[in-house]
Amino acid sequence: MKYSFLLIISLFPLIFNLPQVSEYDWRVIETDADSGFNRIQFSDSLHGWAIGINYIYHSNDGGETWKRQTLPADTFNLREFCFLNENVGYIIGEMGVILKTSDGGKNWHKQESGANKHYLMGLSFIDENTGWVTGEMDDGVKRGGILLHTTNGGVKWDTLSDRSDMILYYDVKFADENNGIVIGSYGFDNFTPIKVYRTYNGGKNLIEISEFYGAHTRYLFLNNIDTLWTGCFGFTKSFDGGFTWDISFHIEITDSTLYGGPIFFNMLQVSGKTGWAVLTSFSKDSELLYTDDYAFTWKLVDIPEDFHPTSVTAAGKYLFVGGAYGLIMTNKPSTVDVEKEKQNDYAFDLFQNYPNPFNPITKIKYALPAESYVELKIYDMMGREVRTLVNGYNGIGYKEISWDGKNNNGIEVSSSIYLYYLSAKSLEDGKIFEKYAKMLLLK
């Protein structure tokens, strides 16, 4: 029987000829781990972590060396993790496990989740203290999803939703303290829909806004509240906050809906336009893919033959790819000066404004890895310029500026959705960074 999967291109070259990207100078770093790294993340250009099924490794020298950190003895089947900075991090996994560190992973402490029968799967923190976790439970008696929330760094986890109607919660992502997305489903194959839930009040109420078939996705990736990617047994994307989904880019194969098909195991959104993906399969070696056109097309990245990618992340301007057999791959030159990295510890980015919605003032934050010529402007939904906030040279680091809801003439604008657009040209190498996001002025 034929089933539809999205972007199954690298596994079936006779059906679809995937272009290759070969300009990256990769090198492989060895660790003493005897298995693979399911997730890898850097909090900055120096401090990184990589987790396997029951272990975690840490680097404090920009990924050159990795050392195993000690986890509680009965910790296993780790699913996801995140670090908010070089000190504070969280890990989730099976049997409701939530671990927290406040010292960069030297010590990990279990938190009481109240979900000891759930396999915790999704994790999203917007700061050190405010976060959400999703999970699923199926013990033969009860089957459903759970949504947990903390505002005090996990001292207390509140249950916002605990279902027993067969709907499992796979993943969660929040853009700010109010606006978030949860995905879930009641089945396991491409014949059951993925349900998409939106919340506007921090998860207290989940509103089902859409569903889609043909790609049973379990991982949610958010660049901003509007630009969403999902991955697992297929790939989908949304440009309107999850109300509609593009599943048109697919190819038909003859295989099982679950065990023969390829899996989008991990993805990294550099911006709404560019990103990376790890594509794996039970029957073939994994591949690394790259997109620079909003995920409409993907290119196969040329990597060392004996490296099998499992996860991908960025550390400043460099890429790090977790792999099987305890290997980590990077395009970072081995000669990079660590002290220089400490001084240049930022990547280009434009963050979601806060608060959002707002009235009358909101703050916009962005990051520059090099001295740049910067333009930051506000536009209405017709594309007309409303306000110029920045027009000039900025130095390295995080920048923050407020908008008071007034136009260039000092006149208050009406309630509406507005776009804020950042353009930054590096004075170091001439590269241009562009990104926009939406915000809501609500009077």
Q: Are residues 185 and 277 in the same domain?
A: yes
Rounded mean pLDDT of 360-384? 89
Does residue 358 fall inside a structural domain? yes
Does residue 77 fall inside a structural domain? yes
By three-state DSSP, how is residue 385 classified? strand
Rounded mean pLDDT of 8-31? 54
Does residue 353 fall inside a structural domain? yes
Examine the fold and report which residue of 278, 301, 333 is the final residue of a domain before the chain moves on.
333
Query: Which CATH number belongs to the domain containing residue 78 in this structure?
Result: 2.130.10.10
Does residue 107 fall inside a structural domain? yes
Question: Is 146 a residue whose pLDDT tops 60?
Answer: yes
- 401 Cβ contact partners less than 8 Å away, ≥ 6 residues apart: 363, 364, 376, 389, 390
Rounded mean pLDDT of 379-406? 89
The pLDDT assigned to 20 comes to 46
The pLDDT assigned to 220 comes to 92
Per-residue pLDDT band at 284 (split at 50, 70, 90):
low
What's the total number of domains in the chain? 2
Does residue 339 fall inside a structural domain? no
The pLDDT assigned to 68 comes to 97
Q: What is the pTM of this model?
A: 0.72
- Cα(36)–Cα(31) distance, integer angstroms: 10
Rounded mean pLDDT of 103-120? 95
The pLDDT assigned to 15 comes to 26
The pLDDT assigned to 406 comes to 94
Rounded mean pLDDT of 105-128? 95
Q: Are residues 363 and 259 in the same domain?
A: no
Q: How many CA atoms lie within 13 A of 71 on its CB side?
A: 24
Q: Are 241 and 226 a contacting pair, CB within 8 Å? A: yes
Examine the fold and report which residue of 279, 304, 333 is the final residue of a domain before the chain moves on.
333
The pLDDT assigned to 249 comes to 52
- Cα(322)–Cα(33) distance, integer angstroms: 12
Q: Are residues 102 and 218 in the same domain?
A: yes
How many residues can be counted in the chain? 443
* DSSP sequence for 311-362: EEEEETTEEEEEEGGGEEEE-S-TT--HHHHHHS----EEPPPBSSSBSS-E
Q: Are residues 171 and 285 in the same domain?
A: yes
- 406 Cβ contact partners less than 8 Å away, ≥ 6 residues apart: 387, 412, 413
234 phi and psi angles, rounded to 5 deg: 135, -175
**Burial of residue 44, with CB atoms counted within 10 A of its CB: 0-12 exposed, 13-18 middle, 19 or more buried:** middle
Q: Are residues 220 and 290 in the same domain?
A: yes
Question: Is 19 a residue whose pLDDT tops 60?
Answer: no
Question: Is 218 a residue whose pLDDT tops 60?
Answer: yes
Please name the helix (run of DSSP H) or strand (run of DSSP E) that holds residue 152, with its range, or none. none
The pLDDT assigned to 338 comes to 53
- Six-digit token string for 342: 């400490």
- Six-digit token string for 108: 């990990």
Per-residue pLDDT band at 17 (split at 50, 70, 90):
very low
Highest mean pLDDT among 1-5, 281-285, 287-291: 287-291
Per-residue pLDDT band at 6 (split at 50, 70, 90):
very low
The pLDDT assigned to 14 comes to 22
Taking CA atoms, 120 is separated from 76, 111, 123, 245, 296, in Å, by 12, 13, 8, 25, 31
Question: Is 81 a residue whose pLDDT tops 70?
Answer: yes
Q: Are residues 406 and 269 in the same domain?
A: no
Q: Are residues 247 and 185 in the same domain?
A: yes
- Cα(416)–Cα(38) distance, integer angstroms: 42
Does residue 341 fall inside a structural domain? no
Question: Is 252 a residue whose pLDDT tops 70?
Answer: no
The pLDDT assigned to 248 comes to 65
Tell me the residue range of the domain where 398 lies: 346-441
Does residue 21 fall inside a structural domain? yes
Does residue 340 fall inside a structural domain? no
Question: Is 302 a residue whose pLDDT tops 50?
Answer: yes
Peptide bond between residue 357 and the one before it cis (omega within 30 degrees of 0): yes
- Cα(310)–Cα(296) distance, integer angstroms: 22
Q: Are residues 246 and 393 in the same domain?
A: no
Burial code (b: 16+ CB inside 10 Å, e: under 16) for 344-372 equals bbbbbbbbbbbebbbeeebebebbbbbeb
Q: Are residues 14 and 136 in the same domain?
A: yes
The pLDDT assigned to 336 comes to 55
Q: Are residues 35 and 110 in the same domain?
A: yes
Span 53-68, pLDDT tens digits: 999 999 999 999 999 9
Q: Are 171 and 218 a contacting pair, CB within 8 Å? A: yes
Span 159-179, pLDDT tens digits: 999 999 999 999 999 988 999
- 245 Cβ contact partners less than 8 Å away, ≥ 6 residues apart: 196, 210, 212, 230, 236, 237, 238
Question: Is 256 a residue whose pLDDT tops 70?
Answer: no
Query: Which CATH number belongs to the domain containing residue 351 in this structure?
Result: 2.60.40.4070
The pLDDT assigned to 112 comes to 95
Examine the fold and report which residue of 278, 303, 333 is the final residue of a domain before the chain moves on.
333
Other C-beta atoms lying within 10 Å of the C-beta of residue 41? 21
Q: Are residues 16 and 92 in the same domain?
A: yes
- 348 Cβ contact partners less than 8 Å away, ≥ 6 residues apart: 367, 368, 369, 424, 433, 435
Q: How many CA atoms lie within 13 A of 282 on its CB side?
A: 9
Q: Are residues 319 and 410 in the same domain?
A: no
**Burial of residue 283, with CB atoms counted within 10 A of its CB: 0-12 exposed, 13-18 middle, 19 or more buried:** exposed
* DSSP sequence for 50-94: EE-SS-EEEESSTTS--EEE---TT---EEEEEESSSS-EEEEEG
